[in-house]
Amino acid sequence: MADKVLMKGNEALAEAAIQAGCHHFFGYPITPQTELAAYMAKRMPKIGGTYLQAESEIAAINMVLGASAAGVRAMTSSSSPGISLKGEGISYMAGSDLPALIINVQRGGPGLGGIQPSQADYWQATKALGHGDFQVLVFAPSTVQEMVDLVQGAFDMADKYRMPAMILADGMLGQMMEPVVLPEKSEKEPIAKPWASCGHKGEREHNIVNSLYLTPNALENLVKERYERYETIKKNEQMAEEYLTEDAELILVAYGASSRVAKGAVNKAREKGLKVGLIRPITLWPFPTDAIKRAASHAKALLTVEMSMGQMVDDVKLACEQKLPVHFYGRTGGIIPTPKEILAEIERLMA
């Protein structure tokens, strides 16, 4: 096994993407994701890849669109305000059935907001990254190692289902260093992309990568076909960690940075004899409704913990079909809640 190294989340993401066969990175500087782009700028020239600093977030995502349309693995990374700008391109990519990886190292919002860690882009990532009926795959790592581990799968699933994938990280995960074992270079043959616009060489009809359908029936049929794919994904690709949930009366639901804090609070609560567990969604879309449903069948209440004013809590409520109360505890604006705060909330709810 390869050695453990100490690496920032942002840098680890970049290296993992390179190992997953992504040799085309297009980005624009923004805190707190800058190390990712800087790492790419250093590495790409050495492996004959492309690092290109675009003139804008909008240009960057459209360069990704172009590279992806040509059939290569391409990615971009940004932070919240930059992701808003990329929304247009992401919608076009979804509408053109193009795979790609987009990293959001979230910071506080709205507007210019702040630069400290936040989870206030959950709605954006899972519900409305741009206009129109579409979804992107959304992964929510909670450690630097998991950031690395999810990258290869995110590219593979994006290729398989022909849709953009997002890693929804945050300033804490991007900036922190943890021991990490980097993946070996992927030996897997990338799947064939017969749809790519890469020059027909006179050997086939011309390919068109396009999202324009002026006939309503044609557009409806295409969107419906896409939604059938989404149903398959919802059925097969949900990922969540269930921690001490079996006998738990109160189950916390938290992802990413806040799930680490929540887990700490669960451990402290257990020391006090409180039956508390944690569900940690790893995919945010597809949302792990199955895990929530299992919890709803035996727990007495759920407590969603987020670094936002409460966004994922909507999906938790939908998933548990109002069978039990769903509480919420959150901090926003760039504040990471402390285990103490969450423990206090647990004790209040269980009193």
| Interaction site with another protein (CB under 8 A) | 4, 6, 24, 26, 31-32, 50, 52, 54-56, 58-60, 62-72, 74, 88-89, 92, 96, 115-116, 171-172, 175-179, 196-203, 206-212, 257, 260-261, 263-265, 267, 336, 338-339
Based on CB atoms, which residue is closest to another protein, 69 or 319?
Answer: 69
CB of 147 to another protein, least distance (A): 13
Cβ nearer to another protein, comparing 198 with 309: 198
Output 6 or 218, the one with its CB closest to another protein. 6
In whole angstroms, what is the distance from residue 221 CA to residue 213 CA? 10
**Closer of 297 and 338 to another protein (Cβ):** 338
Task: Give me the least distance between CB of 296 and another protein, in Å please.
Answer: 25
Spatial separation of the C-alpha atoms in residues 137 and 186, rounded to whole Å:
21
Q: Which of 265, 319 has the CB closer to another protein?
A: 265
| 339-343, long-range: CB < 8 A, 24+ apart | 339/261, 339/264, 339/265, 339/268, 340/265, 342/252, 342/261, 342/262, 342/264, 342/265, 342/305, 343/265, 343/268, 343/269
d(CA 109, CA 241): 28
- Encoded tokens for 266: 């669960």
Residue that is written with structure tokens 């006090």 in the block:
272
Residues 6+ apart with CB under 8 A from 315: 126, 287, 289
Smallest separation (angstroms) from another protein to the CB of 337: 8
CB closer to another protein, 196 vs 301? 196
Other CB atoms closer than 10 Å to residue 342's CB: what's the count? 26
Q: Which of 137, 140, 139, 142 is nearest to 172 (CA)?
A: 142
CB of 153 to another protein, least distance (A): 22
Which residues are bridge partners to 303 per DSSP? Answer: 252, 327
Only one residue has tokens 């991007």, namely: 174
CB of residue 293 to another protein, shortest distance in Å = 27
Q: Residue 57 Cβ, how far from another protein at the closest point, in Å?
A: 11
Kindly state the smallest distance separating residue 151's Cβ from another protein, in Å.
19
Q: Report residue 87 as tokens.
A: 């929304």
Complex with another protein: residue 134 or 287, whichever CB lies closer: 134
Q: At what angle do helices 144-161 and 216-236 cross, to 10 degrees?
A: 140
* Distance of closest approach, residue 331 Cβ to another protein, in angstroms: 12
Q: How far is the CB of 111 from another protein (least distance, A)?
A: 16
Cα 189 to Cα 101: distance, rounded to the nearest angstrom: 18
CB atoms within 10 A of CB 282: 21
Cα–Cα dist 63/80, whole Å: 19
259 vs 265: CA distance, rounded Å? 10
Q: Which is nearer to another protein, 176 or 324 (CB)?
A: 176
Nearer to another protein among residue 303 and residue 319 (C-beta): 303
